[in-house]
Structure 1
Amino acid sequence: MSAAAYVKNYPTPQLAEIARAHHEWLLRLEAPVRVPQLREVTGTRMALERLEGHHPRPDDLPVVAAALGALHTVANIRYLHAGRLDRPFEATPTLTIGDFTSPRVSVLPQDFEINGLPCALYKDSNIRNFILTDDHVGIIDFDDLTLAPFGYDLAKLVVSTAMTHGHLSHALIENALDRYNSETTRIPNAHCDLGRLQLYADIHHHLTSRYLGRHGYAHQWPAVHPWPRGSTTQRELP
């Protein structure tokens, strides 16, 4: 195996195979992001091409947000336009992408409405799951893939960045949201406004807070979120 390969270990061969199927589907999209080539999957090990570059820093968020919006747009146009957020989606004969609501039902607001929202995807946009190369935004880590509304994975990027690096300016987040929305204009009802982004961020906070002190998460989201005082959604999540 080449020394330039990145190897990830999984608890079971089944989880390694799921990650391989996710990788294959994302590569097939031919979206304007860099997807590393698969070297091999052997038992519980997945070997991928190692992308040369660095993880994004906070100031890189608008660039990553634009790439994420482009990825979501291509996924919707090519496949997910036929999906519904409350139902699993058969992406290929061997890959079913999980629905959005089932794994998050315990943290979604009771009045959360998904009817009419187009399908994008959740790929776990932890800031550490991107690599900035010389000419592309590269995506790495293919463990998690579900349907999601547009903007939901962007909110994960915002929350993971703030919990890693500390407070982010409101202007930076508005810039990132604008760049994301500029890439999704071809999809009806895909526009994510700031209020919806805040709601999605609150959901991610509830799902991510248990990792505080691990995996690079050094800051509590309520202490570092980028919203101006008094502008939060003020929703009580379960």
Structure 2
Amino acid sequence: MSGALFVKRYDDPERCAAAAAHHAWLAGLGSGVRLPALVARGARHLVFERLSGRAPDVGDLPRAAAALGRLHAAAHQYELRAAHLDRPHTTSTGLVIPDFASPRQAALHRAAAAAGIHGSVIGAVLDRTAVPVTFYKDPNIRNYLVNDNELAVVDFDDLTLAPFGYDLAGLLVTASMTYGRLADQSITRCLRAYRVAVAPQICSSADLKRYAELHHLLTLRYLGRNGYRHPWPTVRPWPDPSLTEPT
């Protein structure tokens, strides 16, 4: 880090190149969401402008949800309208975005087995194909910066296809595991802010709950680290759907 710059380093040149390509694609969507400018790159590092701000607190979550919605809506409208969740999609810039299930299937089944959840139920959620497609970009609450005037989205390491609402569920899970149980009003405001950006009929409450359980399984291994202090089962803001029944 130097002056008004932030340097992110990578052990793997392929990961570095992928993060740069992800950033370029997201920046080209015209969503109106603030991203840090990528000002230079090397084989194993990216140099971004340093944005001032802090991680969102609970009161900032609707702003983060709205930013997600604007990014997701722009991606669907301009790039992913013809995409399918069950196969990779090549964008107009040549970026290949992996499908939804393949990058997370093995990790989910391992976590589900450890948690006593039947793997076929995970598959029933992952294998949804006849739904509008957008993307996943690690929605961890720490990947947003808030200041008095705006909210920015940072971290561009991971990108896959995903259904609408999947990243919103991840935002709510990581916020709950960080700050504790969210009030019903906070969940309602986040869902409303997201739907205003994407479309009222996209992302049902039932879908949000199912996707949250996937994020819970994928985040289990980080409990006690990286600010995750609260186990999801103790702070889940709705009755436990637990993925015990196929959907």
Query: Normalized against structure 1, the TM-score is what?
Result: 0.91
Is 2:183 aligned against 1:169?
yes
> Which among 146, 152, 155 is matched to residue 132 of structure 1?
146
Q: CA deviation at 1:109?
A: 2.2
Letter of the structure 2 residue corresponding to residue 109 of structure 1: I
Deviations 1:124-144 (A, max 9, x none): 110000011343321100000
Q: How has the CA–CA distance of structure 1 residues 207 and 234 changed in structure 2, closer, same or farther, with 3 Å as cutoff?
A: closer
Matches within 5 A, 1:29-40: 29-40=29-40
Secondary structure of the 2:219 match is helix
Look up the match of 2:243: 235
Higher percent of residues as helix: 2
Structure 1 residue 83 corresponds to structure 2 residue 73? no
TM-score (norm 2): 0.88
Letter in 1 for 2:122: P
Letter of the 2:162 partner, please give it: A
Q: Quote the offset at 1:65 in angstroms.
A: 0.5
Distance change (3 Å), C-alpha of 1:39 and 1:223: same
Considering only aligned residues, what root-mean-square deviation do their CA atoms show, in Å? 1.9
Q: Hey, what does 1:155 align to over in structure 2? A: 169
1:28 alignment counterpart: 28
Task: Report how far residue 114 of structure 1 moved.
Answer: 1.7
Tell me what 1:203 maps to.
214
Extract structure 1 runs of 4+ deviating beyond 4 A.
Answer: none
Distance of 2:37 and 2:64 partners within structure 1: 20
Aligned to 1:49: 49
For residue 103 of structure 1, what is the aligned residue in structure 2? 103
* 2:132 equivalent to 1:118: yes
* Distance across 1 between alignment mates of 2:49 and 2:143: 14
- Segment of structure 1 superposing worse, 98-107 or 114-123: 98-107
The DSSP-based 3-state class of the residue aligned with 1:48 is: strand
Paired residues, number: 232
Q: In 2, distance between residues paired with 1:29 and 1:237?
A: 37
CA distance in 2, matches of 1:40, 1:134: 27
Q: Any unmatched runs of 5+ in structure 1?
A: none
Structure 2 residues without counterparts, runs of 5 or longer: 109-120
The corresponding residue for 1:69 is 69
1:38 partner letter? L
Task: Give deviations 1:167-188, integer Å, cap 9, x for gaps.
Answer: 11122111101111111118xx
Distance of 1:157 and 1:34 partners within structure 2 = 17
Shift of 1:191: 1.2
8 Å Cα contact 1:195/1:233 also seen in 2: no
Percent identity, aligned pairs only?
Answer: 44
Residue 233 (structure 2) aligns with: 222
Q: Deviations over 1:193-218 (max 9, x none)?
A: 21111110000000011011111111
Deviation at 1:90, TM superposition (A): 0.4
Paired with 2:85 and 2:192, the residues of 1 have a C-alpha distance of: 24
Greater shift in the superposed pair: 22-31 or 96-105:
96-105
